[in-house]
Amino acid sequence: MRRVLLLGLLALLVAPLAIAQPLAVETYTLPNGFTVMLNPDATATEVSGAVMVKAGGKNDPADATGIAHYLEHLLFKGTQEMGTSDYEAEKVHLDRIVELYDEAAATTDPEARQALYTEINQEALAASEYGMPNEFDKLLKSLGSTGINAFTSSDITFYYNNFPAHELPRWLDLYSHRFENPVFRSFQSELEVVYEEKNRSMDAFQNRLIETFNAEVFKGHPYGDQLILGTIEHLKNPSLTKMYEFFKTYYVANNMALILSGNFDPETAKPLIAEKFGDWRTGEVPEYPDYPKRRFEKKQTLDVRLTPIAVSLMGFKTVNDTHPDRFGLDVVAAMLSNSASSGFLDEISLEGKVLQAGMFNNSMQDDGVSIVIVVPKPVVQSFKAAEKLVLAAIEKVQEGEFTDEDLAAVKSTLYKDFQSSLESVDNRAVQMGFCFSRGLSWDDYLKYPEMVASITREDVMRLAEQYYGDNYFAMYSKTGFPKKEELEKPSYEPVTTDQNAESGYARAFASMEPALPEATFVDLAKDVTRMELEGGNKLFWTENPINDIFSLEMEFQVGTRTLPSLEPIADVLNLAGTSEYSATELKKQFASLGASFYFSVSRNYFTLSVDGIEENLAPTLALVNQLLTDTEIPQDAIKTTAEGIETNREVESSTPDAMGSVLFQYGLRGEASQYL
C-alpha cells in the first residue's frame, strides 16, 4: 500500500515543473534618502509590509541600555494626531512627565526618586484622560492586518505585519504617520510590560546562557557588554529625554527602509510611497565606532551553573555577515551539522556518543562566532570527553576526511534550505531588510547558492584550519541556577483609557475609501490534483510556484489521542536505518539528494515529512519507500530516545513557558495529557 502511494506521487511529480520567478526585488531611493524595496509576488495571498531602522541594541547609550527596545514598544502608542482626543491638553502632562523622569535620573536618594515616580504616576493618570495608546493597533486590525509585531536585535529594529493587498493605500498612510511626530505616551505603563519581558528573559535559562557566553566572546563590544533588553539598573531609571534623542538621531529617512513583499501592484504603490514617505526628515547618522574584535590567543574556559542539565558551549571566532569567507564558513559548519542531520557532529548524536551536538554560525554586522552546543550523556560522560568527540569531528573536516560526494551533499542541503527560506513573504521581507542593513543588493543575496557551489574541498579544509583552531572559548554549565534579581512591578495606580474614543486622525482614516478587494479563491477542482490510490489512500498535489523544492507529507490517521506511545515512536524512527543503511548512512543518502525526512505526531495524525530538490524526487521517493518498508531500529536508538525524553522533561520543569503548557494540557485533557 505504501509503495503504491509513492509510485502515484512519482507519476505525478517526476516531470519538471515550470517554475515562476516571484523573487525579483526593485530597490530605489527617494530624494530624502529613504530606501524602498518592492517584491511583487502574484502567487501570494497577502502583503508583508515592514519599516526597518538601521539601529538596535548596540546603538544604545552605554548609560541607558535597553532604549532601542523600549522605543520599539512606544512606537505603537500613537502620535500628536493619533491616539489622543486633545493633544494640547495631554501635552501639558506629558511634558511634565519628561521633566520628572530627568529629575529622577539625576537623583541618588531612593526615597526622593520614589516620590518623583509617584508624581509621574499622577501626571500619567491625568494624561490618560486624553490618550488612547491602543488606537494604532486597532486601526491596523481594521485593515485585516495580522501578525502585528516588531523586534529589536543588536543591529536593527524591524516593524512589520501582513495585510490584504487592496488596503495598501491605508496601510502606507498609517505606517508613514506612526513615525512622524510620535508621542511616547503610557511610558510608565509600558515600562511594566518591559519589566515583565525582562523577567521572562531572566527566567529562561537559554537567555542567561547566551548572554553569559556573548559577554565573553564579544567582550569590549556592545554585542557582549550591553543587553538588548537593558540592565536592571537602567530599566529602573529610564530617561525619556535620551529616548527622544535616540529617535531623532536614528529614525531618519536615510537610515530607514520600507519593505513590501506580496500580492500588490508596484506601479500603484510607487506614487503613494513617494507621497507618504517622501517628506520624512533626513539626518546625519553618527558613524559607528570601530570596536576592537576580541580574538582568543589560546583556549579559554568559564565554569558556570546556569542550566537544568549539563551543557557546554564552544565559541570559535569567525567573521561578520559581509566578509567573503562567510560562504565557505557556512559550508564548514554544514559539514559538521546541518538540517539533514548528515554532518560529523550529527553523526555522534545519531550514534548516541553524546546526547546532543550541533553547530551554527552567528554572523552579525560587526563580528561573528561559530557556536557548538554539546549536551553530554547524563551521569556517564564528562565535559572533557564530549568535547574531545567534537574536536575529533572538526579535525575530520580540517584533514579532508570527507568525500566529494559528502561535500556535494552539504551544498545541496544549503541550497534547499536557502530556497525554502524564500517561499514565505514574511521571511522574504526580513531577508530584504537584512540586505538593506548590510549594504547588499538583493541580486547579491540571491547569489548565495552560486557562492556556496564555488567552495572547493581545499577551501573547506583551509577555512576549518584557519578558524577552528585551539584558540577557542569553552563555557561549561553544570546543573544549577544563579540567584536571580527580579524586577518588581511598581505599585502605581493603574492607568485607564477610553477604548471607544477616536482621535481626529482615526476619523479621517475611516473616511478614506478602501479599494474593493480582488479576491482569488482556491478552486479545489483546478488548483489541487487529487488521486485515489490503492488501499483507500488519497493523494493531494499542488505546484510550488516559487522554486524547485518539493515538500511531501504522508499523514496516517492515528495520533496520540488514541495511541499516546506514538510520540516516542516518532523520536525513535528519526534515528532509524534500513537493512542496507545505518541511521547515519541513511541520513547521508538523503542529504546526497538534497533531501531530508522527519517523523512527527500530533493528537490526530502520525506524519512523515520529506523535502528535497525536485530533480532528485524519484531517487528520494525510492529511499522513502525503503525507509517505510525495510525499517531497522539501531540497538541504542531506544536508549538514546529515552535519555532525550528524560532530559527534555528536566528542561521543561525548569522553564516557566513549558510548565505553563504542561498545566494547560493537564487542565484541558486531564489524565489524557500528552505529558503523562
Residue 501 has pLDDT above 60, yes or no: yes
In terms of domains, do 283 and 321 share one? no
In terms of domains, do 317 and 175 share one? no
User: Where is the domain boundary, 416, 446, 479?
Assistant: 479
Residue 545 covered by a domain: yes
pLDDT band at 510 (very low <50, low <70, confident <90, very high): very high
**What is the span of the domain harbouring residue 245?**
34-83+132-287
Each as own residue / partner, the long-range contacts of residues 491-498 (CB below 8 Å, 24 or more positions apart, any chain) are 492/117, 492/118, 492/121, 492/124, 492/188, 493/121, 493/125, 494/189, 495/124, 495/125, 495/128, 495/186, 495/188, 495/189, 496/128, 497/128, 497/131, 497/132, 497/133, 497/134, 498/85, 498/132
Residue 368: which region, alpha, beta or left (left: phi > 0; alpha: psi -120 to 50)? beta
Cell of 88: 494640547
What pLDDT was estimated at residue 486? 66
Residue 197 has pLDDT above 90, yes or no: no
- Stretch 513-541: mean pLDDT, rounded? 84
Q: Where residue 616 sits, what CATH number does that domain have?
A: 3.30.830.10
CA distance 562 to 268: 53
In terms of domains, do 420 and 365 share one? yes
Residue with cell 495511541: 563
**What phi, psi does 495 have (nearest 5°)?**
-90, 135
What pLDDT was estimated at residue 515? 81
Higher pLDDT, 330 or 2: 330
Q: Which H or E run includes 162?
A: strand 157-163
Model pLDDT for residues 312-365, shown as the tens digit of each residue: 999 999 999 999 999 999 999 999 999 999 999 999 999 999 999 999 999 999
- Stretch 285-298: mean pLDDT, rounded? 94
Find all residues with CB under 8 Å of 306, minimum gap 6, and list them: 205, 208, 209, 212, 477, 480, 481, 482
- Per the prediction, the chain carries an average pLDDT of 90
pLDDT band at 63 (very low <50, low <70, confident <90, very high): very high
Number of domains observed in the structure of the chain: 3
Higher pLDDT, 204 or 92: 92
pLDDT band at 539 (very low <50, low <70, confident <90, very high): confident
In terms of domains, do 49 and 11 share one? no
Residue with cell 545541496: 412
Residue 133, Cβ neighbours under 10 Å: how many? 22
CA distance 587 to 97: 61
Model pLDDT for residues 211-230, shown as the tens digit of each residue: 999 999 999 999 999 999 88
Side-by-side strand order, sheet with 47-53: 26-29, 35-40, 256-262, 47-53, 157-163, 146-152
In terms of domains, do 9 and 45 share one? no
In terms of domains, do 280 and 400 share one? no
Model pLDDT for residues 393-418, shown as the tens digit of each residue: 999 999 999 999 999 999 999 999 99
User: Where is the domain boundary, 287, 309, 324?
Assistant: 287
Distances (CA, A) of 657 to 212, 660, 676: 21, 5, 18
Contact 545, 20 (CB under 8 A): yes
In terms of domains, do 225 and 311 share one? no
Residue 292 covered by a domain: no
Distances (CA, A) of 533 to 194, 388, 540, 628: 55, 51, 11, 17
CA distance 381 to 3: 43
- Stretch 234-241: mean pLDDT, rounded? 83
Residue 95 covered by a domain: no
What pLDDT was estimated at residue 676? 67
Residue 520 covered by a domain: no
Distances (CA, A) of 416 to 350, 413, 546: 22, 5, 12
CA distance 13 to 642: 38
Contact 30, 198 (CB under 8 A): no
Beta strand 549-556 pairing with 606-613: antiparallel
Cell of 108: 541618588
What pLDDT was estimated at residue 498? 76
In terms of domains, do 266 and 340 share one? no
pLDDT band at 235 (very low <50, low <70, confident <90, very high): confident
Residue 537 has pLDDT above 90, yes or no: no
What pLDDT was estimated at residue 21? 62
* 3-class SS of residue 96: helix
Distances (CA, A) of 635 to 350, 378, 578, 587: 12, 19, 13, 17
Contact 362, 340 (CB under 8 A): no
What pLDDT was estimated at residue 13? 39
Residue 401 covered by a domain: yes
pLDDT band at 152 (very low <50, low <70, confident <90, very high): very high
- Stretch 482-494: mean pLDDT, rounded? 70
Residue with cell 510611497: 273
Model pLDDT for residues 547-597, shown as the tens digit of each residue: 999 999 999 999 988 888 898 999 999 999 999 999 999 999 999 999 999
Model pLDDT for residues 269-283, shown as the tens digit of each residue: 999 999 999 999 999
In terms of domains, do 276 and 322 share one? no
What pLDDT was estimated at residue 533? 81
User: Where is the domain boundary, 417, 452, 479?
Assistant: 479
Contact 174, 142 (CB under 8 A): no
Residue 7 has pLDDT above 60, yes or no: no
Contact 275, 55 (CB under 8 A): no
Residue 27 covered by a domain: no
Residue 191 covered by a domain: yes
In terms of domains, do 247 and 378 share one? no
pTM: 0.90
CA distance 397 to 344: 9
Which amino acid is it at 647? T
What would you measure as the largest C-alpha separation in the chain, in angstroms? Answer: 80
What pLDDT was estimated at residue 355? 92
Residue 217 covered by a domain: yes
In terms of domains, do 185 and 63 share one? yes
In terms of domains, do 279 and 316 share one? no
